[in-house]
Amino acid sequence: MGEQAPEKPDQTDEQIGPDSPHLDEQQQEQAASRATIGPLVIHEVVRAQGVEELERSTRGLVWSGLAAGLSIGFSFLADATIMAALPDRPWRPLISSFGYSIGFLIVVLGQQQLFTETTLTALIPALTENTLASYRRAARVWGLVLCANILPTLLWGWVAARSELFPHATIMAMRELSDASMAHGFWQTMGLAALAGWLIGLMVWILPASGSAKPFMVILLTYLVAMFGFPHIIAGSAEAFFGVMMGNATIGDFLGRFFIPTLIGNMVGGTVLAAMFNHAQIKDELKESTPDKFRR
């Protein structure tokens, strides 16, 4: 009888990836740096950001929120400026929507507090702890940031409508954007706003794994919000209030056709669709790796 071939070692227990024995130390470091970040790691990065927000002082949240509200006004201005420079053709929004990303880039890269981002990051720690006190802390952050964001956007709308800072063509483009922000009924606006909240929530979830591509991801996802015409409670407030200041809409139109349905929709999209779904996918892993006090 011939000799039996030696059994092959069981490959299932062999270390792979950055811990592979086939790699030297330098190669292991290279493999680790290129490894994909898992959902649990992303969850913990977002949760850490949320904990920082929950622990910030009222003054810190308000000042950061005011800065974000001022910054997001550049989305309105840049979008209108590009629109004014383009011919009135069906493809114009495909280009002008890139201007909408400017304010979001400033906010995200400047680490400023924006309401639709905060709805996700502040909620993740609350979902993890799942206590009434944690939800109260999240609601406190939401309320402070929302109020702080809204005030500067109303100022943007007032200045754009009542001053002569911007060219006539830009003002006409601003009027188009303003009309579009209140063009739908309550329920349609709320549904579109939910999609906007979902996209912005996904942006927050994607950024920890984006690395040097972070600016590109911000531009891409906020560009989609603008191109699809999804209403955003902060950026859109400058547009809608501009219409009120120009006499094209009433306060009732601002509240009933834009502000209230957009606020509800953004919160539904950012919390239910983005935060809760992304939290649910790693809930079992959290039960295995977190202290007993977080196991609810």
pLDDT per residue as tens digits for the range 238-274: 999 999 999 999 999 999 999 999 999 999 998 877 6
Percentage of the chain with pLDDT > 70?
A: 82
Q: Which residue has the higher pLDDT, 69 or 23?
A: 69
288 or 231, higher pLDDT: 231
- Give CA 277 to chain center in angstroms: 15
- Average pLDDT of the chain is 86
What is the distance between the alpha carbons of residues 190 and 227, in angstroms, rounded to a whole number?
17
pLDDT digits (tens, 9 = 90+) for 7-29: 555 544 456 555 656 556 665 56
pLDDT of residue 287: 64
Top pLDDT among 206 and 191 is at 191
Q: Has residue 66 got a pLDDT over 70?
A: yes
Summarised one tens digit per residue, pLDDT across range 113-156 is 999 888 788 888 888 888 999 999 999 999 999 999 999 999 99
Distance CA 74, CA 69 (A): 9
Q: Which pLDDT value is given to residue 46?
A: 86
Residue 186 token pair: 């309550």
Q: Which of 64-68, 117-121, 124-128, 210-214 has the highest mean pLDDT?
A: 64-68
- For domain 39-290, the CATH architecture is Up-down Bundle (1.20)
Distance CA 272, CA 101 (A): 24
On the question of pLDDT at 97 being above 50, the answer is: yes
Query: So what's the pLDDT on residue 208?
Result: 86
User: What pLDDT, in 10s, does the model give residues 31-47?
Assistant: 556 556 777 788 888 88
Query: What does pTM read for this prediction?
Result: 0.83
CA–CA distance from 68 to each of 72, 109, 203 (Å)?
6, 11, 17
92-106, 165-179, 185-199, 265-279: which has the minimum mean pLDDT? 265-279
∠ Cα 53 121 231 (to 5°): 115
Buried b (16+ CB within 10 A) or exposed e, 157-167: beebbeeeebe
Q: Where are the domains of the chain?
A: 39-290
Is 294's pLDDT higher than 60?
Answer: no
How much of the chain, in percent, has pLDDT values that exceed 90?
Answer: 63
Predicted confidence at residue 225, as pLDDT, reads 97
